[in-house]
Structure 1
Amino acid sequence: MKLSTFIRYHIESILAQWDAFARENTPQPGLLSNEALRDHARQMLAAIADDMETEQTDPEQRRKSQGHGPKVESEESAAAEHGKSRHLHKYTLLQLSAEFRSLRAAVLRLWEPYMEHADVDALHEVIRFNEGIDQALAESIKGWTRHTGDTRNLFLAVLGHDLRSPLASIALAGEMLAEPSLSTEDIGALASTVTRASRIMSHMINDLMGYASNQLGGGIPQHPEPCDLLEPLNDAIADATATYPGARFELHAPARLNGHYDRGRLYQMFLNLLVNAARHGAEGCPVVVEAGGRSTGYVVSVTNKGEPIPAAALESIFQPLVQLTEEDHVTRPPTSLGLGLFIARKIAEGHGGGIQVTSNHSDGTRFTVALPNKASKA
C-alpha cells in the first residue's frame, strides 16, 4: 500500500499515536482536552498526503530539500495554526518539534507491515513524506514564532498605555501646582492624585520585575522573616481602596497571624488579588476577605460577587500575556497584561503554598491562598 494511501485509510490509528504522545508531552498535564491535544493533526496529515500525491520534478525536489520549497499561500495553514495554539498552551519549541518527530516515527512504524516492496518507489514515498513533515514543522514553528512576536508587541503596547495614564495625571498635577492661586484644599487633592498615580505605577513595575525574574528562570526572589501576615494584608486593603475608591472591603480575621514570610511579597500578592476582585466585582457588593489558621498553616480567601468564571477558563486567568477571548467567557480590560494573578500564584508557591480559585453564581468568585505556618523558624 502506498504511504499516502495508508495515511488516509489509517488516520485514526495514527491520531491515536499522536494523542498518546501529546498527552505525555504537554506542559499542562490534565488541563488540555482531547480536542486541544489533537489540535490540527488531522488536517496536517491530510495536507501531507495531498503533497505526496502531487507531481514533483527533480529540480523542485532538490530546491525543497534545501529549504526552498513552494511558499504556503496562507499564513493560517493547519500547521501554522497548530504552532500558534501550542504557544498559547505554553509549549516550548523543543516540545513542538518533538511532536513532529514522534508523528514521523509513528507513521513509518505503522506503515511498515503494509509496505509491499522495499524498493526505490517506497524510498521515494518516504522522502516525499519526510518533506511533508519538514514543511509542516517549518510552518508550525513560524506560527509559534509569529505569536511570540504578537505577544511581545501586545506587552509593549499595553505597558505604554497603562503607564501613560498615571504619568499624565502626575504631569497635570505638576502643572496645576505651579498655579499661585491654588488653595490648600486643591493642593491636598492634587497630592492624593499624585500618590495614587505613583502607587499604580509602582504596582505595575513590581509585577513586571517579578514576571521578568521568573521568566529568566530565577523565580521571584523571596526573603522570609518573622512577621504578622495581617500587616501586609491590611496595607494591601488600604492601597486597593485608594486605587478603587468605589470598592468596599470587609476583613474577617483574628488579632494576629504570626509566621515567617516575605512581607513585601505577601503585600504584592494580596494587592493583586484585591485589585482583581474590585475590578471584576458586582457594583454595590463588598469584597470579602477572610483569614485564619488551619492545621497546615494559614488560609486567606478573597471573594467577590459578579459574573462567574467558567470552569474551563479557571487556569487561563493565571497565564500572563494571554489575550482571553469571548470563548473563555472571561473579560479582561483590553489593556491588561494579565500579570497580577500570575505573580500572585508564583509568590504563594515561593512560600511553599498555592492559590486555588472557584467560581459560581451562588458563592461568587473566591481565590484561596494557602500558606504554610513557619512561625517556628522565627
Structure 2
Amino acid sequence: MSDLTPVVWVMLVASCTAAVTFRAMNLSTFITRNKEQILVEWEAFATTFGAVTDDMSGEELRDHAGEILEFVAKDIEQEESTAETEAKSKGQNNDPDDSASSTHGKLRYASGFTLLQLIAEYRALRASVLKLWQLDDAAVSADNADDVMRFNEAIDQSLADAAVAYNDKVNETRDLFLAILGHDLRSPLAATALVGTYLSQAGEPDDKIRQIGVRLKRSAATMAGMVNDLLGLARTQLGDGIPIERQECDLLQICNWAIEDANAAHPRAHFELNASGELIGMFDGARLQQLLTNLANNAAQYGVPGKPIIVDIAGEASRVLLKVRNRGAVIPKNVLPTLFTSLVQLPEEEGNERPRSSLGLGLFIAKQIALAHGGDIDVVSNEANGTVFTVEVPRQ
C-alpha cells in the first residue's frame, strides 16, 4: 500500500467515502430521518377526502401513521429467511390486533372513512416515500433494490392488518345493528299483539281501551320510525340518495306532527315549540317530518329527564332555519365528526339505565334529507347551551 501515490490515495478515500454515504442512505434510514416530511404528505392527502376530515385535527389525521412508518423501517432492516418471506407474501404473519396498523384501521372506521379511502391512504404513503427517497439522490440501484421489495412487503402487510381490523369493525357494527333491530322491534310487536288481544275481547271499559290505544300508537310510531330509517339507509347505500317531492306545505304543522310522533315514542319528554316568520313553502313535508322526528327522538333519548327540549323554527326570505336543543351530557369533540355517519350511536352516560331505542340511523337520515333539499345540518355541544342541532333548508 505504501507504493500508492498521493493522488491514488485521495481517489481511493473519496471512492470509499462516497460508497459509505450512499449505502448509509438506504430506504430504512431515509424513512427514519424524514418521517416528519412523509407525515406532512400523509396528512395533506387525507384532507382531500372532504367532509369526513373537515373537523379532524392534524393529530387525528396522522393518528398511528408515525408508528406504521417505524414498523416499516424496522421491517426492512430485519433479517428474513426464504420461509419468512414466503409466509409474509401469503399474509400468514400479520401483526397482532393491537398493532399500530390494526389500531389505524379501527380508528379510520370510527372516523367515517370508507375502506377505499383507507386503501388510498396506503397507496399515497407508498408513493410519497419512494418519490421523496429518489428526490434525495438515493436512486434505486442493485445495492438497494432489495430495500424497495422489503418496503413494499411491509406496506402490504400493514395495509392487510388495517383492512382486517376495519372489516372486523364493520362486522361488529352489523351484528350490533341486527341485535338492536331484533330487540327493539320485538317489544313493540309484542305490545301490538297484546293490544290486539285486549281489543278483541268484549266488555272492556272505555278508559282501559284508551290506555291500550295510546300504547299501540307509541309502539306503531317506534316501528314506523325504524322502518323509515332502514328504507332511507337502503336508498343511500344504493347510491340513489333520499328522493324528495316538493309540494306546498305548512312547516309549523309538520313540526307539531313531528313532536307528536316523538312524544308517542317518548311520552315523558317535554317539548317547547317556538315559531316565527313565513313557514309555508315548497318542501317535501313527509321527509321533513321524518327529519324533525329523528332529531326530536334523539333529543329525548339523550336529554336530561325533566328538562324541556326546545324546538325553534324561523322562516326567512330565502331559507328556513330549524333548531332542536336539549340539555344533556356534552358530546365529546372527537365524536362530533361521526354523528351523521350511519350506524353511529352516542356513548351512554355512566349510570344511565334508559333503554336503547335507536339503530344509529336517525341523524344519518336527517342529514341525507337536509342535503336532498339543498340544505345542511350541523351540531354544537357545550355546557353553556347544551346540544343544538341546526338545520338549514333553502326555499328554492
Please tell me whether residue 150 in structure 1 is matched to residue 193 in structure 2: no
Residue aligning to 2:282? 260
Could you report, residue by residue, the CA deviation over 1:186-214 in whole angstroms, capped at 9, with x for unpaired residues?
Answer: 22222221221111101110111111111
Query: Rg: which structure is higher?
Result: 2
Output the CA distance in 1 between the equivalents of 2:226 and 2:140.
63
After TM superposition, the structure 1 = structure 2 runs for residues 1-378 of structure 1, keeping only pairs within 5 Å, are 1-25=25-49, 27-64=51-88, 67-72=89-94, 74-112=96-134, 118-177=140-199, 182-254=204-276, 257-325=279-347, 334=356, 336-374=358-396
Instruction: Tell which deviates more after alignment, 270-279 or 258-267.
Output: 270-279
Output the CA distance in 1 between the equivalents of 2:62 and 2:225.
39
Where 1:140 maps in the other structure, the secondary structure is helix
Could you tell me the TM-score, scaled by structure 2's length? Answer: 0.84
Where 1:247 maps in the other structure, the secondary structure is coil
Alpha carbons of structure 1 residues 262 and 118: separation in structure 2 relative to 1, 3 Å: closer
Which amino acid in the other structure matches residue 32 of structure 1?
A: M
Alignment RMSD (CA, Å): 2.7
Alpha carbons of structure 1 residues 297 and 105: separation in structure 2 relative to 1, 3 Å: closer
Which amino acid in the other structure matches residue 361 of structure 2?
A: L
Conserved 8 A contact 2:325-2:387: yes
Consecutive unaligned residues in structure 1, runs of 5 or more: none
Consecutive unaligned residues in structure 2, runs of 5 or more: 1-24
Output the CA distance in 2 between the equivalents of 1:308 and 1:341.
17
Instruction: Tell which deviates more after alignment, 154-163 or 171-180.
Output: 171-180
Conserved 8 A contact 2:375-2:393: yes
The alpha carbon displacement at 1:83 in A equals: 1.7
Instruction: Tell which deviates more after alignment, 99-108 or 261-270.
Output: 99-108
Which amino acid in the other structure matches residue 236 of structure 2?
A: N
Instruction: Tell which deviates more after alignment, 45-54 or 126-135.
Output: 45-54
The alpha carbon displacement at 1:9 in A equals: 2.6
Could you tell me the TM-score, scaled by structure 1's length? Answer: 0.88
Output the CA distance in 1 between the equivalents of 2:234 and 2:389.
24
Where 2:374 maps in the other structure, the secondary structure is coil
Alpha carbons of structure 1 residues 119 and 364: separation in structure 2 relative to 1, 3 Å: closer
Could you report, residue by residue, the CA deviation over 1:210-236 in whole angstroms, capped at 9, with x for unpaired residues?
Answer: 111112111111111111112211111
Number of residue pairs matched by the alignment: 370
Conserved 8 A contact 2:95-2:161: no
Alpha carbons of structure 1 residues 120 and 345: separation in structure 2 relative to 1, 3 Å: same
Where 1:253 maps in the other structure, the secondary structure is strand
Alpha carbons of structure 1 residues 82 and 334: separation in structure 2 relative to 1, 3 Å: farther
Conserved 8 A contact 1:27-1:90: no
Alpha carbons of structure 1 residues 109 and 256: separation in structure 2 relative to 1, 3 Å: closer
Which amino acid in the other structure matches residue 68 of structure 1?
A: K
Conserved 8 A contact 1:324-1:331: no
Output the CA distance in 1 between the equivalents of 2:46 and 2:173.
24
Conserved 8 A contact 2:315-2:321: yes
Output the CA distance in 1 between the equivalents of 2:216 and 2:59.
50
Instruction: Tell which deviates more after alignment, 45-54 or 160-169.
Output: 45-54
Give identity over the alignment, percent: 45
